[in-house]
Every structure is written in C-alpha cells, then in structure tokens.
Amino acid sequence: MSLDGFCMGVKMCGYPLDVRRPAFPGSLTDLHRFRKTAHGHDGSSRIVMVRKTDQRTFASVKNGEEPKLETITRETIETFRGQRTECKITTEKKDYEETCPPDLIEALTDRVTKTSKRPSLKKRNIKMEFQIECLQAHNEYRRKHGVPPLRLNKEMCRLSQDWANHLIKKNVLQHSNNREYGENLFCIQSTNPNFSISGKEVVDNWYEEIKCHKFGVEPSSLSSGHFTQVVWKDSKELGVAFAKTGGKIVVVANYSPAGNIIGHFADNVPPPGGPHTNNNHIELTNGISKLSFNSIKVTHRLEQNVTEGNFEEDFLDAHNTYRRRHGVPPLKLERKLCKYSEEWAKHLAAKNILEHRPGSNYGENIYCLYSSDPNFTVNGHTPVDTWYEEVKLHPFGREPSNLKSGHFSQVIWRSSEALGVGVAKNSQGSIYVVANYSPAGNFVGHYIENVPPVKPAFYGEVTRGSKTRREEEEECTEEDVPDYQGEFNQFALDAVRVHNEYRRKHGVPELTLSLRLCQFAQEWADTCARTASLQHRANCPYGENIFSVYSSDFSHMPTARDAVKEWYDEAKQHNFGVERVNQGTLHFTQVVWKASRELGIGIAKNKRGQTYVVANYDPRGNYIGQFVENVPRPKP
C-alpha cells in the first residue's frame, strides 16, 4: 500500500480495539509490517497518516579535496488522532556523488574565495600601525647603540595626539610646556593632499642627526637633540602620534624618563656598537640649557650665584625692549617689589613647586629651569624672551578666551609701571624666577587698550627720545659714527650700532654701513622670504650671516639687536687662541672679524609670518688659518 503524497482515512467496525501503543517501524519501507489494529478507532474519530519527503543537495569542499555533491533525503511519517499528533517518525538518508558539474565548481570556488578574503576588509587602524612602526624603528636604532628598548605607553600616546592636534590646528611647530617628558617633533608638507609618511621615515629623520653628534662629551649645540633623545639610554617609554590636514603632517613623540639632560650625555648616548668613555669637557651655552627643561631627580649643593651679568638690569632692559616694540611706556625697577618677588622665589625653590602666590595684589610671571650642572646660571633676557614668545598665541584687538598668552600680555601691559624680580635655586638644580608688576595686568575687559600689537612702522618711528638711558649711554657719539640718516633705514642704523658695541668689546675696528652692501643684502633677504628658505647665497663674494624667526602674529618684527645678539651669543662656544674652525661659532666670528670693514644688512617678511635678516661683510671673514689674528678675546 502506497501512502506517498496523499492522506488515507480508514473506517473499520466490529473489531475490538487494541489499546496498546503500536510499535512503529524502523524505516519507512517497513510499513507493510503494521498490523491492521494500528489504524483502529472507536468509530467517532479517524486516524490520518501523512508521509513527507524533503531532499537537499549541498556542494561541500574540504581542504585539499575536490568538491563533492552531498544529497540528504529526510522522510517523515506522522499520524494524527483528531487535531493532535499521535506519532511522528523521521528517517534520514545521505548520498554522495564524486563528480561535480563544472559550473557548480566555478561558482563554489568564487564563493569560497570571497569568504576567505572577508577578514581583510576590516578597517585598518592607521594611527596604531604608525605607532608600532615608530616603536620598532626606535628600538632598531637603540639596539645599534646597545641601550634597552622602549615600550609604548597609551597615556603618553594620548598626550602626544592632543599636542599634535593642537599644532596642526594652530599651524605652528613648537614644543609643549610639558616638563615631565622629553619631546621630539617632526613636520612635513606636500601639495598632494593624500600624502602620507611611515613611522620609520620619521624616526630615520631624527636619527640622521647622529652626523652632528660628538660622542663621549657634552654637546655644544642642539643640532643632534632629536637623535640623542631617540637613543637616550635611561628613557623607557614612548608615546607617539600624528595629525594631518591636507598634505601637512605633524608628528609628536614623548619619552619617559626625559632625555637630553645636561651632564648625562656621555653616559646615555653611547656610539653605535656600545658604550664609549670620554672625559673631555667643553663649556655649554645658554642655548643648550633648554635641553634640561625636563631634567629631574638630580641633586647638587645649593649655589648662591645663579645669575650672570647684571641680572636685574638685563631683566628690566628685556621688558622695555619688548614694550617699545608695542608702543607702551617703559617699566622702572622697584626695590620693594624685588624683595617681595625674591621671597616667593625662595618659597617655590624650597617646595620645588610651580604656583602663583595666593592673594597677591600684583601681577606675577614665573619661570622655572632645571639643570644638573651645579655651575649653570640664568641671564636676565632668557625668562622674558620665553614669556614674550606667547605673542603668537595672543588675539590682538579682542578679549582673549583663555590665558595661553598671559605671560606675554603682562610683560607689555600698558598700565603696569613698576617691576620687581627675584631668583632662587634649590638643591635639586631648579632655578625659579619670579616677576611682580604694579599695577597688575591681565584684567578682563581691558586687554584691547593695554595689549596693542607691534607698531606697524616700528623701525621708522624709533627716535632718540624713545631710547632708554642705557641705550643713550651705549650709543656712539656723532664724531664716532657718520651721518647715515638720509640713506639708511632705522633697522640698518640699529644693526651697525649693535655690531660695533660687540666689536669694541674685542678691541677691533668698527664697521661702517655700505649702501651697496645693504642693497645686496636686501635682495637676498627678499629671496629668502619669497622662497621661505634659510640658505646662503651661492658664490657670495662677501661674508654672510642670516637670521630667521617665525611668528603667527604677522605684525611682529624682530629688532636688529635680536638678530645680532643671536649671532654674537655663539661666543660662549668659541675657543679663543686656537686655529680651528668651529662650525657652531661662525656667525659670532664674522660679527667681530677684525679685517672686515663694511656692513650691509636687509630684512624681509613673508605672508607666512617668517622674517629673514641678511648681513653681508666686506672683506669677508672666517678664513682658515686667520682666526687667532682676527678673533681676539673680549677685553677684561
């Protein structure tokens, strides 16, 4: 009897019912073994038997095997009493075919290929890949120098990312004020908005400064500072990140503990292949002291003499130089305020903390510098220069929304009249400088009238009456200097005056301005500004010094003293009486070169906020074999 595909109802009367549950067959092919009583009922209900067949075919592929067709056939018999299922039996049968149709194999292969590629579609974490590349590149170089590897620190990576975002947003490249970590910066720009750079390329760029480093001694310049931080032995952790806008990329790396600590270079920067000992010692410049901003955990006995020169006078002079630039009245030094400032400086040094005096009625600026060199000193210009650098953060013509430029605005606050300064150093090598101003500045609602921008015609408007007493005393007499006023601008006049101040210190003849040389220098200054490049003129027949400075405040202009002082400050690195070319002091030696007689100078600024100063000298200086004769020591 076939039950496939239909239902069958059976009515049987006169037979006694078998109340036992029937045993169903083990397979659907054994239906003929059912007894008739299996379908019995009481006459008022019916038993319905249904047979269902379900067949499915699969194409399966196993690694290393050809695809096969697998057919699964499921058959189900179900009986009902009324609306209820009384019994249900399902059997399953599998069949295999060794050969598979070619079109099915092709479709199956495509599907497997797409499935296997699916994990690679996961979105790449570009920043994490960059961090790992940087870490690997660091540790490759550190292995070359036999120093322990670095490890990534997530928190330091986050801080690096925050500063990189800040720099890319402000379109500047400057170090953060974070004193806890060492820091390396990198910036590159391309006209291609899709431009990218690998972490290894960045670290390679920093490491290339190894060419400028002299192993075994303390460095005399910052020319290898990125390299030395990369391989600094005591550094253990790295945080690195990048920010990008268009084709410009800024990279920030932080290191803990910080490197580049004065007095520790020989121990922490071994040459490739392993440690090397050299006990030679050279004098460090003030500029190199910037390397020690992050130095901590060093102790030395307290030094009483922590300042150089006439600190208070230089400190006041630095303030008034900047205030003249903005057209505000000069400050005067007040002894009462100096004592007040010194008290707080000593308090900060004793506690080794950096905080403002609570409840003070005066304006206050604080500067802190660390150095492991017990003989390190600070001059009066350095703190003021550091505070003034915040000028690039100040929104002239409106009230600021934050205090990022608060040190700068207090330096030039128009209403302030008196200044006091105090200095103290503690046993850990920390120098604290505290300045107080009366009346206090930085009052909300009064910034516009008290913090004016740089005077647009600053150089043309400087008159004798606006000079400080010190400048009056230092200025040459009319017999000493020819009358250039009709031929040269004020910048050139200031430049030759500052040059001759320094040359008199060394007992060499003064320079005179040359209109021909000024025109020559101005041409190259214009070229540097137009191309935004700091490079010497090719085949220049004259001696040449170049100075460059950047400011986001496009009205900012450096003074002639800023440029010439920058060149002359290299004197602290120069070895007098030795016939040797020191690449780090060639600006200074040209400034005081005895055989030079004429000076030409030019200044130019571009739309990017970059200012270039070019000075030319005739006859030129810096001849090998003539340094001892032409660069005498300063007079006692």
CA of residue 560 relative to chain centroid, distance:
30
CA distance to 384, 388, 615, per residue, from 568 (Å): 19, 21, 13
Residue 542 amino acid letter: Y
Nearest to 364 by CA among 414, 435, 444: 435
Match 């056939």 to its residue by tokens: 73
More confident site: 52 or 521 = 521
Classify each residue of 469-503 as buried b or exposed e, where b means 16 or more C-beta atoms within 10 Å of its C-beta. eebeeeeeeeeebeeeeeebbbbbbbbbbbbbbbb
pLDDT score of 5 more than 60 = no
Q: Which two tokens stand for residue 170?
A: 């402000």
Contact between 540 and 517 under an 8 Å Cβ cutoff? The reply is no
499: left (phi over 0), alpha (psi -120 to 50) or beta: alpha
State the average pLDDT for the chain. 78
Averaging pLDDT over each range in 167-176, 326-335, 555-564, which range is the top one?
A: 326-335
Q: What percent of the chain has pLDDT over 70?
A: 73
| pLDDT value of residue 113 | 56
Structure letter (DSSP) for residue 475: S
Structure letter (DSSP) for residue 487: T
Contact between 558 and 494 under an 8 Å Cβ cutoff? The reply is no
Cα gap 309→379, rounded to integer Å: 7
Among 7-11, 208-212, 347-351, name the one with the lowest average pLDDT. Answer: 7-11
Instruction: For the chain, give percent helix, strand, coil, nearest 5.
Output: 35, 20, 45
Structure letter (DSSP) for residue 378: B
pLDDT per position as a tens digit, 257-288: 998 887 788 889 999 876 643 333 333 333 33
| pLDDT value of residue 24 | 46
In sequence order, the β-bridge partners of residue 74 are 54, 92
pLDDT score of 553 more than 90 = no
Return the number of other C-beta atoms located less than 10 Å from residue 78's C-beta.
Answer: 15
Q: Which two tokens stand for residue 17?
A: 């019912």
| pLDDT value of residue 27 | 47
Beta carbons within 8 Å of 270's beta carbon, 6+ residues apart: 145, 146, 147, 215, 231, 233, 276
Cα gap 161→127, rounded to integer Å: 10
User: Phi, psi at residue 176, to the nearest 5°?
Assistant: -75, 170
Q: pLDDT category, 451, cuts 50, 70, 90?
A: very high
CA distance to 6, 214, 385, 585, 604, per residue, from 223 (Å): 96, 11, 21, 13, 26
What does DSSP say about strands 182-189 and 248-256: parallel, antiparallel, or unpaired? antiparallel
Among 45-49, 393-397, 445-449, 461-465, name the one with the lowest average pLDDT. Answer: 461-465
| pLDDT value of residue 158 | 93
> What angle (nearest 5°) sits at the alpha carbon of residue 561, between those of residues 558 and 566?
90
| pLDDT value of residue 288 | 30
pLDDT per position as a tens digit, 88-108: 888 887 776 666 666 666 665
Nearest to 225 by CA among 193, 269, 195, 187: 269
